[in-house]
Chain A
Amino acid sequence: MTNGFFEWFGELGIFSWNVLKAGLTPPYEWRELVRQLDEVGSRSLPLVAAAGAAIGVVISMEARYSLTRFGAKSMFPTTLVYSVIQVMGPIMTGLIVSGRVGAGIGAELASMKVTEQIDAVEASAINPYRLLAATRILACILMLPLLTLAADASGLLMGWFAQAMVEPLSFHQFIASGFKGAKLSDFLPPTFKTAVYGLIIGLIACFQGMRTRGGAEGVGRAATNSVVLASLFVILADVVLVKFILVVFP
């Protein structure tokens, strides 16, 4: 058990080094990168936006109830803005992409592995770390912050809408009040920390997929492990990154 634990991290380290070496040296696989940006970004957008909207509505309803109870109703816009942008938007996007993209990459690469398609890539004198892994990981790194922005925007919009349905509040008023006194450093680090989630999701999904053995059962296991491990590491990374951001941007 302990050996397996250290072996997994050791293999992940070697895999990461191979991907880094391959990704930083030409020829660069631009065409595959664009395809993966579309796969990770565009195709995740509706799901992330919908989830962001739902979270915005939930926070809006909960915050209104709690703030009214404690006589701090005027704090509603600020509470919603900070809750969505600093906390819920990033982690929710990370977890949703872990599920959708992590499972997709894990299953796709695992299926390619067990049917010798990855060997065929290598036999065709193409570095599979460059073509298959580096492009997917980079796409996740680049797309997570953008998806987070989409989730934040959707959450704020629907959060405001839920509030405006109960009592009149113009969107302009809501935004002006919510962002009053806010600095860029309040919002940029929480948004761009999701690039680290992207690294985690892409790396773990590619690693699990490309080390698969054992036919259809192995493919299923790789997809499941990709989602479970990516989600777990995203949550753990969030703990570390929140502390890091609080120290660096007090």
Chain B
Amino acid sequence: MATVFDIAMKHTEPEKDNGAPIVAVEDLRKAFGSNNVLDGINLQVARGETLAVLGRSGTGKSVLLRLIIGLETPDSGSIRIHDQDISGLAMDRMGEIRKKMGFLFQHAALYDSLTVAENVAFPLVHHRRDMSRSERGDRAMQLLAEMGMEGDVDKMPSDISGGMQKRVGLARALALEPEILLLDEPTAGLDPISSGEINDLILKLQRERKMASIVVTHDLHSAKTIANRLALLDQGKVVIEGKFEALQHSDIALVKDFLNQL
């Protein structure tokens, strides 16, 4: 069985898209009432790169992802996708940007009235009207097979485990072949074996699809395994950003506390 360190060696090197990052967050601020959740965040992610955003619960990691996909609007700052500022775009125009993004929710957020296969085909039904019903079904089956879920296509979400729900959520996120993958706590609540399987899947996707990925997690083990770079958030700010080695050599107390997880 591969160790974490073996798997970490499988990282692909990020590709610079003519030097420009695919996702660029600049001086991003978001408050809920008097609570400044994000207080001037700057981050960039290139094609083929995976950035893990770490931090304690309630430090605004999930809010950052929700801002990037437009489920929340920032108070100030900018979010640029392919150099286009998307903050404040109307819902239908934002929809065009969202087609380039895949989002895995923390609790998978599968549609509970649809089967596993229908969940994966859902974005295709709405956006790939050029595809026939059978083509969409085949595509959903192919994605589920990639996730190792080909035996559960007719099950309802309530009939499968948390880890399986995450895999289905991941398959759904990939349905429109996104350039950007946003993962919110992909291993949270899973046993170590399921976590390892999810990490392997993410690494495989990285190698094969070369997406720009942002993974929000408080699981340092997972972050170390799947990410090229890590950023640690605290009190709405990025405390440190860089490769895992940079965190290892840091003198910041919070960083050291985090590394003690391993």
Q: Which residues of A contact B (CB under 8 A)?
A: 18, 22, 25, 27, 111-112, 115-117, 119-120, 122-127, 129, 131
Q: Quick check: is B91 within 8 A (CB to CB) of the other chain?
A: yes
Most buried by B among A25, A111, A119, A131: A119
List 24 A-B pairs, Cβ < 8 Å. A18-B91, A111-B112, A115-B109, A116-B106, A116-B109, A119-B71, A119-B105, A119-B109, A120-B105, A120-B109, A120-B172, A122-B71, A123-B71, A124-B98, A124-B122, A124-B123, A124-B172, A124-B176, A125-B98, A125-B99, A125-B123, A125-B127, A127-B91, A127-B92
The distance from the CB of B138 to the nearest CB of chain A, in whole angstroms, is 19
| B69 with A123: CB separation less than 8 A | yes
B119 — nearest CB in chain A belongs to which residue?
A120
CA distance A22 to B94 in the complex (A): 14
B96 an interface residue at 8 Å Cβ cutoff?
yes
A27: which B residues are within 8 A, CB to CB? 126, 129
Nearest B residue (CB) for A108: B113
CB of A16, distance to nearest CB on chain B (Å): 15
* In contact, B112 and A115 (Cβ under 8 angstroms): yes
A117 lies within 8 A of B112 (CB): yes
Cα distance A25–B99 in the bound complex, in angstroms: 19
Is there contact, CB below 8 Å, between B112 and A124?
Answer: no
In the complex, how many angstroms separate the beta carbon of B14 from the nearest chain A beta carbon? 24
Residues 21-75 of B at the A interface (beta carbon under 8 Å):
66, 69-71
CB distance from B89 to the nearest CB of A (A): 12
Closest residue of chain A to B66, judged by CB? A119
Residues of B98-148 at the interface with A, using a CB-CB cut-off of 8 Å, are 98-99, 101, 103, 105-107, 109-112, 122-123, 126-127, 129
In the bound assembly, the distance between CA atoms of A112 and B113 in angstroms comes to: 10
Would you call A123 and B112 a contact (CB within 8 A)?
A: no
A117 adjacent to B92 (CB under 8 Å): no
Interface assignment of B95: CB less than 8 Å from any CB of chain A: yes
Nearest A residue to B91 via CB reads: A127
B102: nearest residue on chain A (CB-CB)?
A123
Beta-carbon contact of B101 and A123 below 8 Å = yes
Chain B nearest CB, measured from A183 CB (Å): 46
Identify which of A18, A25, A112, A122 gathers the most chain B CB atoms within 10 Å of its CB: A122
Q: How far is the CA of A112 from the CA of B69 in the complex (A)?
A: 19
Going nearest first, the 3 A-B pairs with the smallest beta carbon separation are A125-B98, A116-B109, A120-B109
Bound CA–CA A122/B91 (angstroms): 9
Give the shortest distance, in Å, between B65 (CB) and chain A (any CB): 10
The minimal Cβ–Cβ distance linking B170 to chain A, given in whole angstroms, is: 13
Q: A115-B107, A115-B109, A119-B105 are in contact. Are A124 and B92 (CB under 8 A)?
A: no
Given contacts A125-B126, A127-B92, list 7 more A-B pairs with CB under 8 A.
A122-B71, A122-B91, A122-B98, A123-B98, A124-B176, A125-B96, A127-B95
Closest B residue, CB atoms, query A116: B109
The answer for the CA separation of A18 and B66 in the assembled complex, in Å, is: 20
In the assembled complex, which residues on chain B have CB atoms less than 8 Å from the CB atom of A125?
A: 95-96, 98-99, 123, 126-127, 176
Residues of B within 8 A of A124 (CB): 98, 122-123, 126-127, 172, 176
Contacts of B111 in A (CB 8 A): 112, 117, 120
Residues of A within 8 A of B122 (CB): 124
Contacts of A116 in B (CB 8 A): 105-107, 109
Determine how close the nearest CB of chain A comes to the CB of B244; give it in whole angstroms.
Answer: 29
- A122 neighbours in B (Cβ, 8 Å): 70-71, 91, 98
Q: Which A residues are in CB contact (< 8 Å) with B110?
A: 117, 120
Chain B residues positioned under 8 Å from A126 (CB to CB): 95, 123, 126-127
Residues of A within 8 A of B112 (CB): 111, 115, 117
CB contact list, B226-254 vs A, under 8 A: none
Q: Chain B residues near A112 (CB, 8 Å)?
A: 111
| A45 nearest CB across to chain B (Å) | 22
